[in-house]
């Protein structure tokens, strides 16, 4: 720890620094994959998009940090001016017969 005693403050600071970096990486990934799809729909005259975010039928491959949740993503999108943001968890049966789920994002602008 470069001569710094490990304390709760140091550990918390390290955690916050790592989480900020992970969130920034996620936002970059989201911008690269999802925002391109939003632009494609907008130039076709649409004012909304529905994307499957997780599961075997995902439209995009996103790696939401393990400590984050889809409410954080929805809040990020609302803060960026999207009128309507809905993220639903859809239960499904996987091809191997086991239960699973995916998340569907609906956005309007």
Q: Determine contact, residues 37/51, Cβ cutoff 8 Å.
A: yes
Q: For the whole model, what pTM was predicted?
A: 0.76
Give me the residue label for tokens 């992970």.
Answer: 22
Whole-angstrom distance, CA of residue 53 vs CA of residue 61 = 7
Predicted confidence pLDDT, tens digits, the chain (109 residues): 567 678 998 899 999 999 999 999 999 999 988 988 999 999 999 999 999 988 777 888 888 899 999 999 999 999 999 989 999 988 877 777 777 778 899 999 8
65: nearest Cα among 28, 107, 108: 28
């Amino acid at each position: 720890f470069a001569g710094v005693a490990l304390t709760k403050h140091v550990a918390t600071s390290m955690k916050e620094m790592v989480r900020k970096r992970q969130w920034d990486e996620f936002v970059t990934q989201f911008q690269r994959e999802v925002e391109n799809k939003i632009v494609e729909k907008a130039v076709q005259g649409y004012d909304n998009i529905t994307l499957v975010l997780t599961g075997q039928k995902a439209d995009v491959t996103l790696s939401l940090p393990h400590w984050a949740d889809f409410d954080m993503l929805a809040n990020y999108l609302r803060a960026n001016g999207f009128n309507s943001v809905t993220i639903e968890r859809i239960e499904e049966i996987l091809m191997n017969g086991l239960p699973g789920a995916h998340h569907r994002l609906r956005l309007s602008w």
